[in-house]
Amino acid sequence: MTNIILLGPPGAGKGTQAKRLEESRGMVQLSTGDMLKEAIAKGTALGKQVEGIMARGELVTDEIVIGLIEAKMQDGAKGGFIFDGFPRTLKQADALGELLTRTGSTLDRVVEMQVDDAALVDRITGRYTCGNCGAVYHDKTHPTKVAGTCDVCGSTNLKRRADDNAETLKTRLMEYYKKTSPLIGYYYAKGLLASVDGLADVDSVSSEISSVLD
């Protein structure tokens, strides 16, 4: 069983690689955003608390996120857990470390997906998805075979995320570098950090991550 953190700026491909690890190694992705939505949908006590906080436009506390992670970890995972979107700060990294120690677990590897900012902006601003089946496309690298029509399901409901624009992405990148990039040094000092080329093709990135984990 291997527990890892995937680190990288928005659009680095963490979600794609997490799904591949789930399929190939039986790991479970713990995505902060997904866990918050799930707790709200289930209407648990914690979910109702989260819903109230978000309705007021406030940020969900680290304690609540750690509580959600701990609850999910109790369900178990044959291949281990992938932490995606948490920790984002040094304080959260300490809190995660305390949780793992308390539950008799370990953090085995931190995989940093390195990207070039200019290339990342190009990658994200050209991205669009099928609103029907979720297939992902890109203006330059992976356009649909027939303009305006999904290759997979034939739907014409192709969408771009409202925040997939250059200005918004630059703001998100600045936030990442201010708050999350210190984690790179933090985990390097602990001997847990490994870096991979996040801008390589998807298969190459998967192969690099596999080499790190093996």
- Residue 154: what pLDDT? 96
Question: Which of these is catalytic: 37, 88, 109, 179?
Answer: 88
- Which residues are registered as beta bridge partners of 138? 127, 142
Question: Which of these is catalytic: 160, 161, 178, 190?
Answer: 161
Task: Give me the count of residues in the chain.
Answer: 214
- Residue 179: what pLDDT? 84
Question: Which of these is catalytic: 37, 109, 127, 179?
Answer: 127
Nearest residue to 29 via CA among 78, 109, 83, 68 = 83
User: Tens digits of per-residue pLDDT, 49-92?
Assistant: 888 888 887 878 888 899 889 988 888 778 899 998 889 889 99
160 catalytic? Reply is: no
- Residue 33: what pLDDT? 80
Amino acid identity of 69? Answer: I
161 catalytic? Reply is: yes
172 catalytic? Reply is: yes
102 catalytic? Reply is: no
Question: Which of these is catalytic: 14, 20, 72, 123?
Answer: 14
Environment class of residue 138 by beta-carbon count within 10 Å: exposed (0-12), middle (13-18) or buried (19+)?
middle
56 catalytic? Reply is: no
- pTM exceeds 0.75 for this model: yes
* Two tokens, residue 104: 């008799």
Give CA separation, 121 vs 1, 109, 141, in Å.
35, 27, 14
Question: Which of these is catalytic: 25, 37, 109, 172?
Answer: 172
